Chains A and B, each alone.
Chain A
Amino acid sequence: MTSKEIILNNIKQNQNIQQIPLPEIPNINEIYENIFEQFANTIENAGGKALQSDINKLNNLILELYPKATKIASNIKIPNLKTIDPNIYTNPHDLQNLELAIVKGEFAVAQNGAVWIQNNQNKHRALYFIAENLIIIVDKNNLVNNLYEAYKQIDITNSSYGVFISGPSKTADIEQSLVIGAHGSKSLYVIFV
């Protein structure tokens, strides 16, 4: 017998759990009056910041936020901003000295301040984690109330990867003191355009 057969047999032989049906889950989570405000408050609690901008003013805003950044990679075109296309690299290790990554987010979740990122055109997942700072650009119409609505929209089957990001990376592993900037980005802005 293979280990798979042994394990499945063990499960069948030991099965003694009273069978109950799989519950259908309704939307039991909150609906917000001001959905942007809710998102902004929640992500600020997680150490990030939400902003709104016009697409034509986006380059100025980014340069205001990160005036010193010279090595900026982006998988979306931003008018008048010079960025590196991360897809030109064959090896994700080449992204290691990025000061700023600007990436496309699919939608934002007001309930928990998370942004869903799933971009089949982006070659390196590392782009979301390796840069010192991260900006996620989200269409201002793409805000959902909660995770229930989020998973209604998510179709991951044709993708290899998707991620919720909520804030900059953080840790409290030393004496429970919160420190921003563990392994991923040290700062995070979510900009709605």
Chain B
Amino acid sequence: MVSKTITLTNAQGFHMRPAGVFANAMAKYKSDITIKFNGNDVNGKSLMNIIAACIKCGSTIELVCDGADENEALQAAIELIESGLGE
């Protein structure tokens, strides 16, 4: 299991479109992707879960990847968030 804490910088936060970009990208990996935010564990592969978590711009989240390709998954997730989630 690997994890990293990161701050969300895209203006909209995990809005529907950024959440979709993220969930779709994560779906490609076998590992479980969890976003720890505000004391909740959010399934990083589920668009609905991410949106329901209401993660706004400037929020700090912890990404946790657990599985065979956990390192690649975490790397991809971080790059995606740092690049602004397609905004």
Co-assembled chains A and B: no
